[in-house]
Structure 1
């Protein structure tokens, strides 16, 4: 089932021709309308006419998050202000936020991509979509909202938080698709169970979860606890918002919507392009955005691309799950550690819940990692022998996966604070 079969199943050669035409137009637009890019191109001795083949993209300059901050708020917009119908902004932890803009055509394009994504998860115009992504400057809420409306579905714009109301509406409105962060979906499942809700008896059939990395084992937890099919969606404000790529029902990677974006994977240290199948940093160039086009944006997300045609029939390349971020990863005693690696280990153990906290500290000149893990209700015990045995098994498994030793602290169920947005996984005391 497709929303836009023509573009989603377009033959690869035809797709590449479309990408090249749109890349040439985008490069010309930014050169003529965005002083930042014109300066970058001039410094390289490049002109828009130098783009003659898709491979020439590797000669274009990168754009990084600091460039967006330096041009706050509207310095990278490529259209006059009267053509901008909406702005969004990222939730930066320090300094000014990243501001992005949309023309009416941009909003329509975005809505089309979200509609495409919902259909990929098995959705259609008769769905009741409970949108638990945050509304406001965050792109998630309104992005999903407009796409669901484009599809013709009924949207419940509940936004994030207010878990009791979420669960009430899910039952009373007959929600069929839930959209929110995976950590919050797990929290909803947990609270629903505590409230006596049997999710197998609800119309809920699918979840579209994004905005934070999550693992295959968390998918299994979500699908079991909510009785749904769980799908990964990817996006970021700087490139568009949610809807840059999406998982189909085969669940073998997220299809990148190549008629609107060119994706590359690069070596994060050298900036050199890497071949398909090799892990590196994800880079995006937009092809159809008018207000805020972006050239070779370094996402800092770590993933792998594959060009094999999916059995669903879609021809667009796929990206594997984001395993972490090159700038958010922890470096502990010289070892790169991503929280998602630890999550995968924890979910191997049926005795624990996928709620955890990584506490990093420095004693003298040595970094120390302590992992707080919640015990499952059914396995919670005050028997010292049981606790010690489980801690030992976890410590051994994490040591073999990460290559470093970590202290394990098992805590009672519901001890670790829950999040109604992106889960806070790391407390780094080395920076305090």
Structure 2
């Protein structure tokens, strides 16, 4: 369901709209934000230097450090009397990153997410189960406002309380569920553990994001629930969920809300643009944000883009699903590996459950990488709960062989009983660093 004609604009129409809004954004930040005033003065750039959309490349990059250095409100481009909401990151690696919203920002965000939910298959007469966490994290409220804007009966259950999630699925008959893929998988597994078949539910579509997940994980979720599972993208610094959304018709790239953002893909080392279809770091410039506009924000996410028209009828630029984050990349004896690549091959091993953790620890002066995986309940019962059984040892060898041949890395592998790896009610913890000093392995 296409709910706004901007989703089918020609490239010329979209660029004309983007250019108008880009100039307005540049004027806003140079008038209101000291950080950008200084950066633009250093480059001797004004809004008059922006004559085409491609001129965005003349502007300075913004990195997450800038948000922390200007904590909490120094990057706001609106007076506090006009700020009606504040979100923030968890701040696990330093000061939290704080973002603000005016009433217009909230309205635009709701429209954007409503479009995203419609792209994924949501319809106004459906029931929407929102299992994203509410609070400082943008996911819960961002999705909530969009679902209501679309006209769906929205159930704000938030993350966690898995038994209640199952009760809502059974009693409220939702047509769409949203959450992190790892947590929704946990819901499905708990239903199975209780003797219930998730495929018998009313669910038709799933909207999953906030963590990288593989095509294989998509197949697992779709098979368990009998749904179409679609990827949603966003980050609080740029807006929140709804920056891009995968359509249920083709599930081939995420449609970017280009009327609100300009997307670039750059080589993270040279900072030069890469060709369409080539992977690099995603960079976003906001076009309509009043409280917290961002110029060329380096997301750290690795993906590619295509500008080809989608079979769903939309013409907006699409981004590939995120391969991983630059700072999540493991360097194992000189080989670069993303957790999503490990997941891609693990899920193809028949006797394994779709849960894993990469644990980094130190033995003497050496760094050791150990991959923890789980066998399925069925396999565990067949070997009489014996984790030392020969079949379990064969599974371990399969995993080691797959990692060596497909990911080109050698790892120690530990095969665990079902439900041994901790499940998260939010983002899955895929990497556990047990070393006292972080070093390259």
TM range (shorter): over 0.9
Unaligned runs of 5+ in 1: none
TM-score (norm 1): 0.98
- Partner of 1:76, secondary structure, is coil
Runs of 4+ aligned structure 1 residues displaced above 4 Å come to: none
Find the counterpart in structure 1 of residue 414 from structure 2: 409
Residue 21 (structure 1) aligned with residue 26 (structure 2): no
Shift of 1:429: 2.1
Is residue 201–residue 225 contact of structure 2 (8 Å, CA) maintained in 1?
Answer: no
Find the counterpart in structure 1 of residue 290 from structure 2: 290
Distance of 1:353 and 1:129 partners within structure 2:
28
Distance of 1:45 and 1:393 partners within structure 2:
58
Shift of 1:428: 1.2
Distance of 1:44 and 1:431 partners within structure 2:
42
Shift of 1:201: 2.4
Deviations 1:267-316 (A, max 9, x none): 11111111101111100000111110000000000011111111111111
Distance of 1:136 and 1:393 partners within structure 2:
42
Q: Please point out which of 395, 411, 422 is paired with 1:390.
A: 395
Find the counterpart in structure 1 of residue 327 from structure 2: 327
Shift of 1:182: 0.3
Find the counterpart in structure 1 of residue 221 from structure 2: 222
Find the counterpart in structure 2 of residue 42 from structure 1: 41
- Partner of 1:430, secondary structure, is coil
Distance of 2:334 and 2:364 partners within structure 1:
16
Deviations 1:359-393 (A, max 9, x none): 11233444321111010111222363212222112
- Partner of 2:233, secondary structure, is strand
Unaligned runs of 5+ in 2: none
Aligned residue runs from structure 1 range 38-187, under 5 A: 38-187=37-186
Find the counterpart in structure 2 of residue 427 from structure 1: 432
Residue 236 (structure 1) aligned with residue 241 (structure 2): no
Find the counterpart in structure 2 of residue 370 from structure 1: 370
Q: Which moved more, 1:238-247 or 1:401-410?
A: 401-410
Is residue 358–residue 427 contact of structure 1 (8 Å, CA) maintained in 2?
Answer: yes
Find the counterpart in structure 2 of residue 307 from structure 1: 307
Distance of 1:413 and 1:199 partners within structure 2:
19
Q: Which moved more, 1:192-201 or 1:126-135?
A: 192-201
Q: Which moved more, 1:377-386 or 1:150-159?
A: 377-386
Q: Which moved more, 1:295-304 or 1:95-104?
A: 95-104
Distance of 1:37 and 1:121 partners within structure 2:
36
Is residue 132–residue 158 contact of structure 1 (8 Å, CA) maintained in 2?
Answer: yes
Find the counterpart in structure 1 of residue 352 from structure 2: 352
Q: Which moved more, 1:197-206 or 1:360-369?
A: 360-369
Distance of 1:312 and 1:284 partners within structure 2:
24
TM-score (norm 2): 0.96
Find the counterpart in structure 2 of residue 338 from structure 1: 338
Distance of 1:189 and 1:129 partners within structure 2:
17
Distance of 2:35 and 2:275 partners within structure 1:
29
- Partner of 1:19, secondary structure, is helix
Distance of 1:281 and 1:363 partners within structure 2:
34
